[in-house]
Chains A and B, each alone.
Chain A
Amino acid sequence: AQSVTQLDSQVPVFEEAPVELRCNYSSSVSVYLFWYVQYPNQGLQLLLKYLSGSTLVKGINGFEAEFNKSQTSFHLRKPSVHISDTAEYFCAVSRGDGLTFGKGTHLIIQP
């Protein structure tokens, strides 16, 4: 079985400041890792994914994440956030089938 832990349910940050959203996973086998964003009353949009290769993954909207196998982490970062980044962010893992999601982190951008 696999599981995902998003340690922070809510992260407030000032506009133009950097942000890191934490994600840890557990799995007995190799997994694929994803970050999704969900805006209010909308579906999920893929930010980035790690399947293999380089451990630093760049995604859309200026986000990036680093896969750390020894720490079983896949933290999401952005060097400078914008008010439009306010949303719910979900980390997810998969072995190629259905996704197992973390509980989500609500990113709140303060002006």
Chain B
Amino acid sequence: GAVVSQHPSWVICKSGTSVKIECRSLDFQATTMFWYRQFPKQSLMLMATSNEGSKATYEQGVEKDKFLINHASLTLSTLTVTSAHPEDSSFYICSAKRTSGFSYEQYFGPGTRLTVT
């Protein structure tokens, strides 16, 4: 099956600093990737859609200047949390969209746990 990796798997940073999270599709090319956020014991919320070679599309209520997304290649999307604050602490999960004929599926990465102190 298709594999999506995320790095780092967990990170602790100080308030006011920036953190970059990488999402890679290891065995397929993904023109579209997605970033989700999951608070403890809650569901996943779509933050943004990352399209290779173009600007990301953000969901309502998500600050695009705070959550910078770059999709520079067909296998890599990055999410940078700028000037992180404790309320940004969360589990960030990416997924990569794979289409084949009439089939469509998203493959999820293992997630990155961010703790801001």
Contact = CB atoms under 8 A, between A and B. Distances in A.
Interface of A: 32, 36, 42-46, 49, 51-52, 90, 94, 96-104
Contact of B109 (A32, A43, A100): A43
Nearest to B94: A43
16 contacts: A36-B108, A43-B93, A45-B108, A51-B102, A51-B103, A90-B44, A94-B104, A97-B49, A98-B46, A98-B59, A99-B44, A99-B106, A101-B44, A101-B45, A102-B43, A103-B42
A68 to B, nearest CB: 21
B110 A42 contact: yes
Contacts of B109: 43
A104 B39 CA distance: 12
Contacts, number: 47
Top-4 shortest CB links A-B: A43-B110, A98-B46, A44-B108, A101-B43
A94 to B, nearest CB: 8
Contact of A90 (B34, B43, B107, B110): B43
Interface of B: 32, 34, 36, 42-46, 49, 59, 93, 95, 102-111
A93 to B, nearest CB: 11
Nearest to A106: B41
Contacts of A32: 104
Contacts of B104: 32, 51, 94, 96
A42 B111 contact: yes
Given A44-B44, A46-B105, A99-B44, 8 more contacts: A42-B110, A43-B108, A44-B95, A97-B49, A98-B59, A99-B34, A101-B44, A102-B43
Contacts of A97: 32, 49
Contacts of A46: 105, 107
A94 B34 CA distance: 12
A100 B46 contact: yes
B55 to A, nearest CB: 15
A11 to B, nearest CB: 15
Contacts of A42: 110-111
